Amino acid sequence: MEEIAHSNLTGIAIVALAALVCGMAMERVRQPAFVGYILAGLLLGPTAFGVVQDRVQIDALADLGVLMLLFVIAMELPLRLFLKLWRFVLLTTLFQVASATIVMLIVSMVLGWSLGMAVVLGFVVALSSTAVALKILENTGELKSRSGLIAVGVLIAQDLAFVPMILVLGLIAVGEADYQGLLALAGSIIVLAGLLWYLAKGGRITLPLMAKITADKDLTPVTGLALCFGAAALSGLLGLSPAYGAFLAGLVLGNSRGRRAMIGGVRPIQSILMMVFFLSIGLLIDFRFIWENIGQVLFLLFVVTIFKTAMTTAILKFLGQSWPHAFLASVMLAQIGEFSFLLSRAGLQTGLIDDDVMRLVVAVTVLSLALSPVWVVTARRLHDLTRVSISTFGELMKIVYGHEADLLAKTVTKARPQAALAARRIGDAIQKSKGVVGSVTTKKPGKRQEDKSKSAAKEDDDA
């Protein structure tokens, strides 16, 4: 029993240390820390060192991290500005889902996919990652800007659209619709819209015992966890997405008197759970499958990044947004979402896709999430360079990635003397060890050895 406990503790220590080192390395090159967490998951997973083998507990903690992120974001959401965007947020999500599905239907005619597979992939591509997009918005300081509010609104609408997507997949698979699920979806939208409208108009919610709870530093984070996960569990029991319940609980707490204390209490827990979430993404990477299907993976990755950005930009511009706001919001939404895993799993269970397609979805989703910060940085800098005159491609790359290149060069320059010194010390140690070995081998023989030598010489003389 003690050996098992010691082994689990060692594994947790290795995971935490790897996440810390990789996160600091990414922050060093001005990339979000969660990219380092994904890298840590890759290194600890079965494709590398194989330190982490059991994914069940990690997946459970990762799901809790997504719920906690939505909970905190809802508490910090500026509702009055958000309420002004709700019309085209819903229309944007509808156009996104329809456009992505149509494109996948066209691709299915070329590649010979089935109707169900095309619809599943269309839904998968349409959804964006709430966790990744919100984290990027936080790191870039765009969360409370107009582009950030548009992106947050679309993300919330996409989370709500997850339930009807599941219903559509069931309809394609078995040929009948779940009308109770449709009623629950309509009710959830009405409740959310009513709550947003009430709070945006200045309404406040008084929670019992909140003043006493927030006065205790130990009870504050526990209360936040209980409300977040309790609301998510209740939402799941009603047949809705748990993310919906967590977001609703965050809205209520964010407009109560204990808002500041609650945010400060739950944010450290949220950071730890989000680290586990991104670590679990890195564990899913299978380089062997990616290499064997590199053509399809790169094609779908191209569709997700380039086409999805262009598609969302055109939709937002059509709905009245300016080009800069439409483009920046679209860049934030260019990746595939964590709910895409659940959609692909539902498609696998209903027989609409097979295991190979499931692995393809996982590969594209993981690469999309991992490359999302790089695409955001590149797109934003290219957008800022629209007023700059550039004549060559090399000049463009220098302006866009010049900071990272200079930082890497400085790091290598600083590390080179240290590496040379370490190599010199290692060489001296090797030479010293050789000298010790040589002195041992040339040491004067003892008396017993001299007697053996004399005996052997005498035998030679007799012979």
In three-state secondary structure terms, 59 is helix
Q: Check residue 304 and give its pLDDT.
A: 83
- Please identify every stretch of the chain with a pLDDT value under 50, giving residue numbers as ranges: 393, 434, 436-450, 452-454, 456-461, 463
- Reported as a single tens digit per residue, the pLDDT across 261-302 is 888 888 888 888 888 888 888 887 778 888 888 888 888 788
Burial class (CB in 10 A: 0-12, 13-18, 19+), 214: buried
| Tokens describing residue 356 | 């190979």
Question: Do 149 and 81 touch, CB atoms closer than 8 A?
Answer: yes
Provide CATH code, domain 55-387. 1.20.1530.20
Burial class (CB in 10 A: 0-12, 13-18, 19+), 345: middle
- d(CA 372, CA 30) in angstroms, rounded, equals 14
Q: Check residue 194 and give its pLDDT.
A: 83
